[in-house]
């Protein structure tokens, strides 16, 4: 499946840029091959329009923000968050043709990121109750490009057989090749997967989790939100909870922007954010190395790859996406 060949994927919200990166100047982002420019409007809310001026096609992201509007670097035409041109410095009588406009996209702030939907959304932005819970703190972790399909990462996060082989320096345990529990439930937003996995607990993690054991169990509440967001709520026996929320925002068929934050029910005084990020950095780099070696054209037709018991969540993900494509009158696309 090639994501840019399926208009369906334009109907979802994706986090595209951390709000903190919009504070000083406009930023560009390519979403499903659509170049965008984002900036903060007069109220400090994020705005997104096509990154192409309607005058001579210069990239608006080269411009600057003036009074909450985006001003083109070429001749100074200025556009508001609706894409309407509000200033043409060269206009003698100050009139502006209504045809002077650029395409604007829906854009909102959530969880500290600007989210964009290119068309009418068929699902809401994932609801993460812990993000509103004062017991939890939110730590932004990673914002970087991965050379792989988002679908591969979604499956990976719910694949409880890979830690033994991939997470050899972090938490994978040779004693636990499969989880002790696998419960799968289809939901309106995607799926819910409960599992229990025995893991190693290296020293860095013992410190982060305030545990002295070198082995422990993770009880995982896994949520997959159509199409490319996963939340893993990892519950430890001592009551510590580490929640990873990861969206693989599709840039093009072979590339995704990895956007990850975590939520924890401890304080900065108990565990430094830098230590939390350092451990998750090691984990995610172990995944990245493998996932970037996989085909980005992920087949939804199950006969094109081989499967085993622990692939059940990934198989359900493929089935749900396939069903949704059919519902919207689309066929699976492929480069093959
Ligand atoms: S190209 Fe943007 S103002 Fe001329
Ligand atoms: Fe992993």
Could you tell me the residue range of the domain that residue 103 belongs to?
Answer: 9-117
- Position 123 in a domain: no
Residue 73 CB less than 6 A away from ligand 1: no
Residues 193 and 275 in one domain: yes
Burial class (CB in 10 A: 0-12, 13-18, 19+), 303: exposed
Residues 178 and 320 in one domain: yes
HSE-up (13 A, CA, CB side) for residue 224? 29
- Position 306 in a domain: yes
Residues 146 and 218 in one domain: yes
Question: CA-CA distance, 183 to 187, in Å (whole number)?
Answer: 13
- Position 102 in a domain: yes
Residues 276 and 159 in one domain: yes
- Closest Cα to atom 3, ligand 1: which residue? 75
- Position 293 in a domain: yes
State the closest ligand 1 atom to the C-alpha of 56, by its place in the atom list counted from 1. 1
Residue 77 CB less than 6 A away from ligand 1: yes
Residues 211 and 311 in one domain: yes
State the closest ligand 1 atom to the C-alpha of 53, by its place in the atom list counted from 1. 2
Question: CA-CA distance, 2 to 56, in Å (whole number)?
Answer: 31
Residues 110 and 28 in one domain: yes
State the closest ligand 1 atom to the C-alpha of 72, by its place in the atom list counted from 1. 2
Residues 107 and 136 in one domain: no
Residue 75 CB less than 6 A away from ligand 1: yes
- Position 335 in a domain: no
Q: Would you list the DSSP string of 31-75? A: ETTEEEEEEE-TTS-EEEEESS-TTT---GGGSEEETTEEE-TTT
Question: CA-CA distance, 291 to 215, in Å (whole number)?
Answer: 26
Q: Among the three residues 117, 145, 179, which one is the final residue of a domain in this structure?
A: 117
Q: Among the three residues 117, 142, 175, which one is the final residue of a domain in this structure?
A: 117
> Is the CB of residue 196 less than 8 Å from the CB of residue 180?
yes
Residue 89 pairs in a beta bridge with none
Question: CA-CA distance, 169 to 255, in Å (whole number)?
Answer: 26
- Position 295 in a domain: yes
- Closest Cα to atom 4, ligand 1: which residue? 75
User: In tens digits, what is the pLDDT along the chain, a chain of 336 residues?
Assistant: 999 999 999 999 999 999 999 999 999 999 999 999 999 999 999 999 999 999 999 999 999 999 999 999 999 999 999 999 999 999 999 899 999 999 999 999 999 999 999 999 999 999 999 999 999 999 999 999 999 999 999 999 999 999 999 999 999 999 999 999 999 999 999 999 999 999 999 999 999 999 999 999 999 999 999 999 999 999 999 999 999 999 999 999 999 999 999 999 999 999 999 999 999 999 999 999 999 999 999 999 999 999 999 999 999 999 999 999 999 999 888 876
Ligand nearest to the CA of residue 62, numbered in listed order: 1
Residues 16 and 145 in one domain: no
Residues with Cβ < 8 Å from 253, sequence gap 6 or more? 2, 3, 4, 5, 149, 296, 297, 335
Where helices occur in the chain by DSSP H, the ranges are 150-157, 163-166, 203-209, 273-291, 312-327
Inter-CA distances, 215 with 199, 201, 240, Å: 6, 5, 15
Residues 103 and 147 in one domain: no
DSSP 8-state secondary structure symbol assigned to residue 237: T
Residues 110 and 144 in one domain: no
Residue 54 CB less than 6 A away from ligand 1: no
CA angle 68, 74, 76 (to 5 degrees): 40
- Closest Cα to atom 1, ligand 1: which residue? 56
Number of domains in the chain: 2
pTM: 0.97
Q: What is the pLDDT of residues 145-194, one digit of tens each?
A: 999 999 999 999 999 999 999 999 999 999 999 999 999 999 999 999 99
User: What CATH number is given to the structural domain containing 43?
Assistant: 2.102.10.10
> Is the CB of residue 261 less than 8 Å from the CB of residue 47?
no
Q: Among the three residues 62, 87, 117, which one is the final residue of a domain in this structure?
A: 117
Mutate to test the pocket of ligand 1, among 75, 78, 89 (most ligand atoms within 8 A of CB): 75
Beta strands in 149-305 (DSSP E): 181-186, 190-200, 215-225, 229-235, 241-250, 256-264
Residues with Cβ < 8 Å from 189, sequence gap 6 or more? 123, 126, 223, 225, 226
Residue 85 CB less than 6 A away from ligand 1: no
Residues 18 and 151 in one domain: no
CA of 54 to the centre of ligand 1 (A): 7
Question: CA-CA distance, 123 to 225, in Å (whole number)?
Answer: 9
- Position 24 in a domain: yes
Residue 74 CB less than 6 A away from ligand 1: yes
Inter-CA distances, 56 with 51, 89, 229, 296, Å: 12, 15, 37, 35
Residues 36 and 93 in one domain: yes
Residue 56 CB less than 6 A away from ligand 1: yes
Question: CA-CA distance, 160 to 221, in Å (whole number)?
Answer: 12
Residue 143 CB less than 6 A away from ligand 1: no
CA of 88 to the centre of ligand 1 (A): 9
Residue 55 CB less than 6 A away from ligand 1: yes
State the closest ligand 1 atom to the C-alpha of 75, by its place in the atom list counted from 1. 3
Residues with Cβ < 8 Å from 109, sequence gap 6 or more? 19, 45, 46, 115
- Position 3 in a domain: no
């Amino acid at each position: 499946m090639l994501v840019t060949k399926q208009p369906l994927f334009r109907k979802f919200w994706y986090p595209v840029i951390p709000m903190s990166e919009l504070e000083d100047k406009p930023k560009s982002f390519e979403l499903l091959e659509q170049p965008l420019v984002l900036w903060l409007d007069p109220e400090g809310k994020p705005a997104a329009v096509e990154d192409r001026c309607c005058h001579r096609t210069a990239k608006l992201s080269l411009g600057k923000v003036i009074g909450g509007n985006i001003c083109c670097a070429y001749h100074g035409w200025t556009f508001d968050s609706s894409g309407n041109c509000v200033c043409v410095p060269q206009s003698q009588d100050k009139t502006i043709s209504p045809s002077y406009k650029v395409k604007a996209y829906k854009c909102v702030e959530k969880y500290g990121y600007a989210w964009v939907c290119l068309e009418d959304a068929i699902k809401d932005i994932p609801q993460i109750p812990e993000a509103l819970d004062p017991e939890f703190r939110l730590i932004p972790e990673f914002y970087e490009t991965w050379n792989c399909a988002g679908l591969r990462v979604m499956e990976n996060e719910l694949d409880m057989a890979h830690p033994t082989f991939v997470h050899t320096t972090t938490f994978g345990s040779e004693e636990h090749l499969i989880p002790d529990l696998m419960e799968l439930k289809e939901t309106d937003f995607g799926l819910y997967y409960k599992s229990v996995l025995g893991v190693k607990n290296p020293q860095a993690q013992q410190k982060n989790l305030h545990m002295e054991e070198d082995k422990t169990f993770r009880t995982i509440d896994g949520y997959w939100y159509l199409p490319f967001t996963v939340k893993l709520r990892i519950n430890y026996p001592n009551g510590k909870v580490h929640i990873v929320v990861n969206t693989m925002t599709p840039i093009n068929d072979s590339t995704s922007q990895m956007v990850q934050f975590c939520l924890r029910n401890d304080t900065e005084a108990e565990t430094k954010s830098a230590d939390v990020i350092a451990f998750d950095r090691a984990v995610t780099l172990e995944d990245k190395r493998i996932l970037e070696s996989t085909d980005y054209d992920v087949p939804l037709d199950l006969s094109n790859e081989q499967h085993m018991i622990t692939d059940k969540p990934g198989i359900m993900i493929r089935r749900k996406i396939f069903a949704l494509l059919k519902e919207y009158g689309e066929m699976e696309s492929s480069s093959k």
